[in-house]
Amino acid sequence: MLYLVPTPLGNLKDITFRAIEVLQNVEVILCEDTRTSSKLLQHYQIQKPLSPYHQHNEHKIVDHLVTQMQAGKTFALITDAGTPAISDPAFLLVRACVAQGVKVECLPGATAFVPALVNSGLPTNSFVFEGFLPLKKGRHTKLTELAQETRTIIVYESPMRLVKSLEEWATYFGAERLCCVSRELTKLFEENKRGTLTEVAAYFKSKTVKGEIVVVIQGKEK
């Protein structure tokens, strides 16, 4: 069996009782970075074998993992933060498990774009999640498409590219399009900056940007 277990975005208290119970009872925990995951497990006094599972090795080990599960071994998959498969590895393993009849169960829990969307002040009744946008090939096409999107748009962005992307989005979507940039969610220096794309770009241009970033952008008015 495979359990997909969401882990805290930053505050270690943001984990469910059930998630802790599952991590205590599985035989192996698959994780992106053993150093990062070790801190969480040590905090909750969970002693289980950790095995790397990330974008660089997932194609090579998926079949082997499924074979072990078919033989009766129980795994949990966690990422460095948030819910597996949401802009993180997991899809390939889940697909292989489903195809081979291995039971998969995903626990509810932390996902960065949900609090970012809810506290943005932008419409939450209908939205589109794009994850990380293409960096080069296909970027123009995607931005041209999103410029016509009427639903609230959610993207992830790197702190190094944030200002450049905000300025670029202002060109495609319009300088007065509203947005909210959320960074360091649930951590000590959490920040949610709201305003137009131009205003928010100017704000972050004047400071050093750090942390995981979610950008919520107003959809085009109908």
Q: What is the pTM of this model?
A: 0.93
Final residue in a domain of this structure, among 48, 78, 106: 106
Closest CA to 122 of 46, 200, 177: 177
Final residue in a domain of this structure, among 106, 124, 159: 106
The pLDDT value recorded for residue 154 is: 98
**190-194: long-range contacts, CB 8 A cutoff, minimum separation 24:** 190/10, 192/116, 192/119, 192/120, 194/120, 194/121
The pLDDT value recorded for residue 183 is: 97
Distance between CA atoms of residues 27 and 51, nearest Å: 11
- Residue 222 placed within a domain: no
| CATH number, position 126 | 3.30.950.10
For residues 101 and 123, state if they share a domain: no
Q: Are strands 75-77 and 2-4 parallel, antiparallel or unpaired?
A: parallel
Size of the chain in residues: 222
Closest CA to 187 of 216, 220, 213: 213
| pLDDT tens-digit readout, 198-213 | 999 999 999 999 999 9
For residues 136 and 203, state if they share a domain: yes
CA dihedral sign, ordered 45, 9, 207, 168? positive
The pLDDT value recorded for residue 28 is: 97
For residues 6 and 101, state if they share a domain: yes
The pLDDT value recorded for residue 50 is: 97
| pLDDT tens-digit readout, 35-59 | 999 999 999 999 999 999 999 999 9
Place of tokens 């060109």: 171
For residues 148 and 203, state if they share a domain: yes
Q: Which residues of the chain have pLDDT under 70?
A: none
The pLDDT value recorded for residue 222 is: 84
- Run of H or E including 153: strand 152-157
